[in-house]
Chain A
Amino acid sequence: MSQIDLATTSLRELNETLQAQKGGDNQTAWEILNPRGSHALAVGLDAPIEVTVKGHTGYYCAGMNQQATVHVEGSVGPGVAENMMSGAVIVEGDASQYAGATGHGGLLVIKGNASSRCGISMKGIDIVVQGNIGHMSAFMAQAGNLVVCGDAGDALGDSLYEARLFVRGSVKSLGADCIEKEMRPEHLDLLTDLLTRAGVNAKPEEFRRYGSARKLYNFDIDNAY
């Protein structure tokens, strides 16, 4: 275990050190002390390392992550795991707006609540939120899975493409072209796997599935002006 203390090390130095890690090194576990709400912590990682952040972070924590597992023992600001490609990001606290935005892959787990625009434009990432999510979540979401153990805010899945949304609690309102869909056995299997990987104890059959009605993004002469 290596420790990097942001009270004595610059953010740039920290990110350079973590970004320089290559697969196969012995040094795989890192601990970051005194994050004090810093922005862009542990971004652009590209090695199977484990990074633990001891406290709250600011904007864009663990953005563009590939392969690494980043564990935040606190809450995160806007844009956590933005554009993640692979690996995992686990947040013990809450996440601010647009968590997991545009993510292509990997797993984002938020143990608290996520605020507005969670999973906006997601492109293959899996997001599991143990609490609630805010309004306009999964806006224009293209691929991947968003699992919400609590409630969802207004306009869930507005202008949705092919991402799958699973919500256990209430949905305040659905966005344009987002509808409830039948939960088939393959969806229960998928959900079971996601909940297991996220370490969340919830029954898959308690969730409802939402997805695209496919009326908005297919060519339809009635949509033309």
Chain B
Amino acid sequence: MCGIVGLFLKDKALEPQLGALLTEMLITMTDRGPDSAGIAIYGAAGNRAKLTVQSDNPDQDFATLAEELEAALGAPVTLRANDTHAVLELPADQVEAARTAIADRPGRIRVMSDGDVIEIYKEVGLPRDVASRFNLPAMSGTHGIGHTRMATESAVTTEGAHPFSTGPDQCLVHNGSLSNHNSLRRKLRREGVRIESENDTEVGAAYLTWKMQNGASLGEALEASLTDLDGFFTFVVGTKEGFGVVRDPIACKPAVMAETDQYVAFGSEYRALVNLPGIDAARVWEPEPATVYFWSH
């Protein structure tokens, strides 16, 4: 079991409340996943790329990170620390070089995501505690996805928490379990796809990224996942423009959607949606199995 929440805003007036609304949804889904929690938030685009990083020793690892990267890249880098995470801003063409520099330096800094707008925050712990340590309610943005985890396929660690990002501004959260993740991980690694953990969902995310790198649209990649991924899944994916939903053909993992003039919302259960504005008048429905849904700005 796991909990998924997602919110795609149509009404700009709600953007300052995105973090607060998602946090409330996330906490409601604690019963489905008390191990760890995470959120991907899509904020405003600047003219530089964002790299979200995480460290178990943030005070030590983040103290001089921006200066070190500036020296390595020869370009300006800023760092905004937030508990165990930090968002680095740097020129878009320096993202790969920055990833290499981070991997080569001592300490254990993990890259959570990169892109123009995405920031990912995830940690082990109750959703309420995770939300509060990152001050998620204060975050604003156009859309966001959250996940509460009850681990099945890999250990309860920061790396095992969702969302997973394996491509620029892309992320995936998952309720279910994939059975062919080991063979698919080997195949994708041979293709040169970066996969950091032993987690099944990361393989799902990497699979979608790989498909898109080879010319598929997100919709096509999601369609293909229905054939190539074996197991149970309700996926919610985020991109720079929007979010999508797909469920495996058996569809035993729950999903509820609600749409109003102001937003499209996803919840593993209706309970997650009850505090959204205007929910009583929303169109509420269950997404069909093996059907790709997508909303974009």
Chain A residues within 8 Å of B, Cβ to Cβ: 36-39, 55-59, 75, 77-78, 93-94, 96-97, 115-116, 134-135
Contact = CB atoms under 8 A, between A and B. Distances in A.
Given A36-B274, A97-B252, A58 B289 contact: no
Contacts of B284: 56, 75, 93
A51 to B, nearest CB: 19
Contacts of B289: 116, 134-135
Interface stretch (B49-57, B160-168, B265-273): B265-273
Contacts of A78: 254
Contacts of A38: 271
B251 A116 contact: yes
B286 A37 contact: no
13 contacts: A36-B271, A37-B270, A37-B271, A37-B272, A37-B273, A39-B271, A57-B270, A59-B269, A77-B254, A77-B269, A94-B286, A96-B254, A135-B251
> Most chain-A CB neighbours within 10 Å: which of B273, B280, B284?
B284
B293 interface: no
Contacts of A135: 249, 251, 289
Q: Is the interface of A mostly helix, strand, loop or mixed?
A: loop
Contacts of B250: 116
Contacts of A134: 251, 288-289
Of A56, A75, A78, A94, chain B has the most CB atoms within 10 Å of the CB of A56
Contacts of B280: 55
A122 B256 CA distance: 25
A135 B254 CA distance: 15
What are the 4 tightest A-B residue pairs by CB atom distance, in nearest-first order? Answer: A37-B270, A37-B271, A36-B274, A56-B270
B285 interface: yes
A115 B286 contact: yes
Given A58-B270, A59-B269, 12 more contacts: A36-B274, A38-B271, A56-B270, A56-B284, A75-B284, A77-B269, A93-B284, A94-B286, A96-B286, A116-B251, A116-B252, A135-B289
Interface of B: 249-252, 254, 256, 269-274, 280, 284-286, 288-289
Contacts of A59: 269
Contacts, number: 46
Tell me if B's interface is mostly helix, strand, loop or mixed. Answer: loop
B271 A58 contact: yes
Nearest to A56: B270
A175 to B, nearest CB: 14
Given A77-B254, A78-B254, A115-B251, A94 B270 contact: no
Contacts of B269: 37, 58-59, 77
Nearest to B251: A116
A135 B289 CA distance: 9
A77 B270 contact: yes
B271 A94 contact: no
B270 A75 contact: yes
Nearest to A76: B270
B235 to A, nearest CB: 17
Nearest to A55: B280
A115 B289 CA distance: 9
A74 to B, nearest CB: 8
B274 A37 contact: yes
Contacts of B285: 94
A57 B284 CA distance: 12
Contacts of A75: 270, 284
Contacts of B249: 135
A158 to B, nearest CB: 13
Contacts of A96: 254, 256, 286
B246 to A, nearest CB: 15
A55 B273 CA distance: 13
Nearest to B270: A37
Contacts of A116: 250-252, 289
B1 to A, nearest CB: 12
Contacts of B252: 97, 116
A24 B271 CA distance: 35
A134 B249 CA distance: 11
Contacts of B272: 37
Interface centre among A37, A77, A94, A97 (most CB of B within 10 A): A37
B150 to A, nearest CB: 16
A75 to B, nearest CB: 6
A96 B268 CA distance: 12
A32 to B, nearest CB: 15
A191 B285 CA distance: 29
A99 to B, nearest CB: 12
B258 to A, nearest CB: 10
Contacts of A93: 284
- Which of B280, B285, B286, B288 has the most chain A CB atoms inside 10 A of its CB? B286
